[in-house]
Amino acid sequence: MKFVFRIFAFVLCCVLFSGGLLAQANETYNEEVVAKIDLETRNELVYIVGTAINASKLSQSIRYVLSANLVQEDGRRLRNEQSGRLVMEVGQQADLSEITVSAKETARVILLLLIYDEKENIIGKDRIVLNDDESQSQKVSVSDQVQRVVARRNKDGIGSEDVSRSGEDGLELSNLVTDDMKTKPGRDFVTLFYSDYQRYKINSGKYIISLKEVLAIGNNTKIEVRVGNDIVWQFFTRPRYDFLKDQAFEAIKKVYQKLKALKEQKSDVIQKF
């Protein structure tokens, strides 16, 4: 009986240990490819440059998305996004893309750089928020903060300004929704999906929600909705508003059901142990 118990204890430890390693591996970023956002003020503009460094011992085929999201006081949002693909050699450092915002901008500015590998897993990410101090009695321009942010990041090393902070902008490194669209119907779907996502106050936690438009049969495209790496909804695009609205609602339901199942699965595992 003692022998059986020892075997069970050994297996249990192995499961927990391997699970811990997997969890740690899944939440590790900026090891193979390091993502970094550089800021520079020139004249009336702030230049936002997304950079990447291949720190691995192999060449890396990556996809990147650099975005600047302006959140006005009335809740309106403006989004500027640049994306592309690149094959990086060992040790290579590259400027991926560049976005500019007005140096006089006083809105909350959320800068986000995501780097994906060939399997669409996020392997590098960086985030900076400007004009994020809600306690300020007067709004200041982003140019007034760039020098301070750059100095702090140079001192503390590469890393997001507020990775551990929870908020409600929908762009945190937790509760993250990303999109990669190629057509106007695809972009319209994203707008409708975001609207429902915020309306129903869905929180994906550590799971990343990905909306991606891919080439399908002929000249058609297909939109895939993923929770983590799992496709929960997909459909062929049509340039009709009512159709896209229905698809966005169905996608939201599938995302909610998947997140609920993952939460219950996690709770069930904890109760068993």
CA distances from 171 to 65, 136, 202, 209, 249 (A): 13, 22, 13, 11, 21
CA distances from 183 to 72, 78, 84 (A): 27, 19, 15
Give the C-alpha separation, 185 to 181, whole Å.
9
pLDDT at 22 over 80: no
pLDDT at 91: 93
CA distances from 227 to 7, 143, 163, 175 (A): 36, 37, 20, 11
Nearest to 79 by CA among 178, 162, 154, 8: 178
| Residue in this structure with the two tokens 């902070």, named with its chain if needed | 165
Looking at per-residue pLDDT, the higher value among 154 and 96 belongs to 96
What are 191's two structure tokens? 């707008």
Which whole number is the average pLDDT over 244-271?
85
3-class DSSP assignment, residue 12: helix
End-to-end CA, the chain: 20
**How does residue 23 score in pLDDT terms, banded at 50, 70 and 90?**
very low
Using CA atoms in the order 136, 141, 147, 148, what is the torsion angle rounded to 10 degrees?
Answer: 10
> pLDDT, tens digit, for every residue of 164-195?
343 444 455 556 788 888 899 999 999 899 88
> pLDDT, tens digit, for every residue of 27-76?
578 899 999 999 988 888 889 999 999 999 999 999 999 988 887 776 66
Looking at per-residue pLDDT, the higher value among 95 and 121 belongs to 95
Query: Chain-centre distance of CA 194, in angstroms?
Result: 14
∠ CA 150-147-137 to the nearest 5 degrees? 115
Give the C-alpha separation, 220 to 194, whole Å.
23
Give the range among 83-97, 126-140, 153-167, 225-239 with minimum mean pLDDT: 153-167
pLDDT at 63: 92
Which domains are present in the chain?
29-168 (2.60.40.10), 174-273 (3.40.50)
pLDDT at 156: 62
Is the separation of the CB atoms in 203 and 175 below 8 Å?
yes
Indicate the average pLDDT of the chain. Answer: 78
pLDDT at 223: 96
> pLDDT, tens digit, for every residue of 196-227?
998 888 888 778 888 999 888 878 899 999 99
pLDDT at 8: 43
**Whether this model's pTM surpasses 0.85:** no
Is the separation of the CB atoms in 49 and 72 below 8 Å?
no
The answer for residues whose C-beta is within 8 angstroms of residue 112's C-beta and 6 or more apart is 65, 66, 67, 69, 125, 126, 127, 171
The dihedral region occupied by 272, where left means phi > 0, alpha psi between -120 and 50, and beta the remainder, is: alpha
